[in-house]
Amino acid sequence: MSETNAQKVQEVIIAGMSKTVANYDYAMSELEALVAANNMHAALRIDQGLEKPNPATFFGKGKVVEIKEVAAANDLHIMVINADLTPSQVRNLEEQTDIQIIDRTGLILEIFGNRARSKEAKLQVKIAQLQYQLPRLRTSISNRLDQQAGAAAGGGGGFTNRGAGETQLELNRRTIQDRISHAKHELKELNKDEVVRRAQRDKAGLPNVALVGYTNAGKSTTMNGLVKLFGKGEDKQVFEKDMLFATLDTSIRQLTFPDNKQLLLSDTVGFVSDLPHNLINAFRSTLAEAANADLLIQVIDYADPHYKEMMATTEKTLKEIGVHDVPMIYAFNKADLTEADYPNQQDDQLIYAARDEASLQALTSMIKAKVFKNYVTTTLLIPFSDGDVVAYLNDHANILKTDYLADGTQLTVELNAVDAQRYEKYVVTPA
């Protein structure tokens, strides 16, 4: 595909059922943003006012006729619906409207399929795509998602039923099930490596801080700002862009502050309302950084009028992935796009702007107050023969006072739990 074709925006219809969704206008604006994230443009919006979906076609008969006429009159060939449809609803709608139907889960899977970069993310998305595709082998008239899942699985143009009968359909189903099992096995092997890496990080005794929140709230921008201030020289910036699901991979960076205190900071995949369960399950290992964190920073788009709904979505998703009772800082980002004064801290809440250094310093102070509160201040007397210990502490601890005595170097120092235990033998017992 040429670069010009790859960048061509597809005009689509978006549609929803207003009486079955709370905060309907917000839900549709979110759908429009998701559509844009998939290189599409919502050219038209169609609303249905039924109390409950039609079990056969989701929309009522009159609305189905309207959709067909509107699509034909405007030369539109795709409709994205803000709901999860059954395979039969998709099939019936496509047959009666002569356009392609994409439901909410299908749309999000397309976005994730296009954004996955690492081997782990690609496997996670592939599993979710194939699980979604399995009951829909005969529903898609254009095979858009089928082709993506087939390509992701390494198998050409998908597994849609080509009219070869029930035997071929069953063969296709078994093929997809086999590929799901194979992908899960590959992912399990990758996860073993990550478990080892996580154990090594835990052994180092460094606090783990995870950025979580709604997609496009500014997590990556916040992380890049902190890495620029406190990261190592070779630390790379993480990818950031003003769009939903700019990155799917969890990035981890080590921060070292002027007082030599250190922590690990992770940037996790963003959330969105009604994130498909297959994706939550597939990304559970990636989101384990949040579950294992000592502190969560929930980054919130304070400039968005629906930020409270976004916070509710984040809280709900965290519960779904098993995150409970982890301390949290509520970081209200993009204050520079509002009339609010910033940085402004109250208890565990901070109004800030991720590109403002004073804001990042305020956030840093809050983080340090949380994760280093259990550090101990102690006095060590280290013999001159153990100069390597003094060198280590000068590089990795906050030295408050240094005295050179006849029998060694005496340090008053702040230590984390691991180092406090490691150097317990040097502790000077008060007289």
In the annotated binding site for GTP, the residues are 213-220, 245-249, 267-270, 333-336
The answer to whether the beta carbons of residues 176 and 134 sit under 8 Å apart is yes
| CA–CA distances in Å: residue 336 to residues 192, 216, 249 | 42, 16, 27
Residue 52: count other Cβ atoms within 10 Å of its Cβ.
8
Question: Alpha-carbon distance 110 to 116, whole Å?
Answer: 10
For residues 143 and 149, give the distance between their C-alpha atoms in angstroms, rounded to a whole number.
10
Q: Which residues on neighbouring strands pair with residue 412, listed in sequence order? A: 379, 401
Q: Which of 350, 292, 348 is nearest to 318 (CA)?
A: 292
By residue count, the chain amounts to 431
Q: How many Å apart are CA 223 and CA 252, to the nearest integer?
A: 9
Binding residue ranges for Mg(2+): 220, 247
Q: Which residues are annotated as a binding site?
A: 213-220, 245-249, 267-270, 333-336
Distance CA 360, CA 382 (A): 37
Q: Residues 280, 131: contact at Cβ < 8 Å? A: no
Tokens matching residue 84: 């999860």
Sheet holding 344-346, edge to edge: 251-256, 262-267, 208-213, 295-301, 328-333, 349-351, 344-346
Q: Count CB atoms within 10 A of the CB of residue 193.
A: 10
For residue 214, the 8-state DSSP code is: B
Range 109-136 burial, b when 16+ CB lie within 10 A, else e = bbbbbebbeeebbbbbbbbbbbbbbbeb
